[in-house]
Amino acid sequence: MKQFISVNDVKQIDKLVLSALAYKANPFSDKVLGANKRIGCLFLNPSMRTRLSTQIAAQNLGMECIVFNVGQEGWALEFEEEAIMSGNTVEHVKDAAPILGKYFDILAIRTFPSLKNREDDYSELYIKQFIKYAGIPVISLESATLHPLQSLTDIITIQEVLNSSNSWAGDKPKIVLTWAPHVKPLPQCVANSFAQWVNAWGKADFVITHPEDYELSEEFTKGAIITHNQEEALKDADFVYVKNWSTFNDYGKIYTNDPGWMLTNKKLQPTNHAKVMHCLPVRRNVELSDEILDGPDSLVTQEAANRVWAAQAVLGEILTG
């Protein structure tokens, strides 16, 4: 693997999932694989899970990890080609990225979308410019439109639950991605990425439910059943993935904040004792109810803990590939 920006960089999802679960069983099995190698993790935006899990994963492989909060501590970067830099940006990525390529063996970057201009956000200019100019493998720690380490973790967690379920018959599980309310307009990355990975994995019946006007890009959802009827979608679900996103067509807006879309235990009754997932951080009692987050069907802690093994599997693949 030369880079990890989306599911398209992965040859075999199942192999990566197996590798992650093997690392979970034996975290230090490759403790010298990353010896004398260094990863630079650049954060243009806040993070807890991604930052810490990537650091731990690198450490488990014997690799040094240096975190740089560019958004708070670095020079303001310019990404546009041929920019006349008379505004607020101080350093062009064309100058910064090659230097980072000399300091590190792998570069990992987190950026968020502006949610102001869809074309700009969906061009993924920031991460593409780092790939173009750094000259070393680049890992997305979440980009403007996708969050592949989160989605790999989500597949790992689903597979882990299926593996541990004695009653699982081996048929395809039903996975439902449901929109949830939120007070702020959020990116579509997690939902886009989850849809892209579940579709590519191909081992589930996949349904997406959201209010009208919250359609995601077909580029990621193609292959899923899409409905505005949450109750119908939840029927017989095995896994329910909860996430808010802002509008894609009339870009970056909140059209509704209907609390009726928040998942409750009552809503879960018609499911197949569904397990509930969320990438975190979560707004309690806005996106997801306390009763679910604190109840036996929540996978959120297991899911967040699995971020380490997803990152370790990806780093391991890049280091060996």
Q: Measured from the CB atom, is 30 or 160 closer to ligand CP?
A: 160
SS3 at position 99: helix
- Binding pattern for the stretch 265-284 against ligand CP, x by CB under 6 A and - elsewhere: --------------xx----
Helical ranges in the chain per DSSP H: 13-25, 49-60, 70-73, 93-103, 118-122, 125-134, 148-164, 189-201, 218-221, 230-234, 265-268, 290-293, 300-305, 307-320
Q: Measured from the CB atom, is 189 or 204 closer to ligand CP?
A: 189
> Please, what is the minimum distance in Å from the beta carbon of residue 50 to ligand CP?
3
Phi and psi at 25, nearest 5°, equal -75, -30
Q: What is the 3-state secondary structure (H, E, C) of 159-223?
A: HHHHHHCCCCCCCCCEEEEEECCCCCCCCCHHHHHHHHHHHHHCCCEEEEECCCCCCCCHHHHCC
Check binding of 150 to ligand CP (CB under 6 A): yes
> Please, what is the minimum distance in Å from the beta carbon of residue 14 to ligand CP?
23
Residues 174-203 that bind ligand CP (CB under 6 A): none
**Paired sense of beta strands 91-92 and 174-179, if any:** unpaired
Check binding of 47 to ligand CP (CB under 6 A): yes
Q: Distance (Å, rounded) from C-alpha 189 to C-alpha 192?
A: 5
Applying CB under 6 A, the span of 6-14, 41-49, 95-103, 204-212 interacting with ligand CP comes to: 41-49
Check binding of 48 to ligand CP (CB under 6 A): yes
Q: Measured from the CB atom, is 267 or 309 closer to ligand CP?
A: 309
> Please, what is the minimum distance in Å from the beta carbon of residue 280 to ligand CP?
5
> Please, what is the minimum distance in Å from the beta carbon of residue 139 to ligand CP?
13
Residues 126-145 that bind ligand CP (CB under 6 A): 142
Phi and psi at 85, nearest 5°, equal -85, 65
> Please, what is the minimum distance in Å from the beta carbon of residue 65 to ligand CP?
15
Residue ranges that bind ligand CP, judged by CB under 6 A: 47-50, 142, 150, 279-280
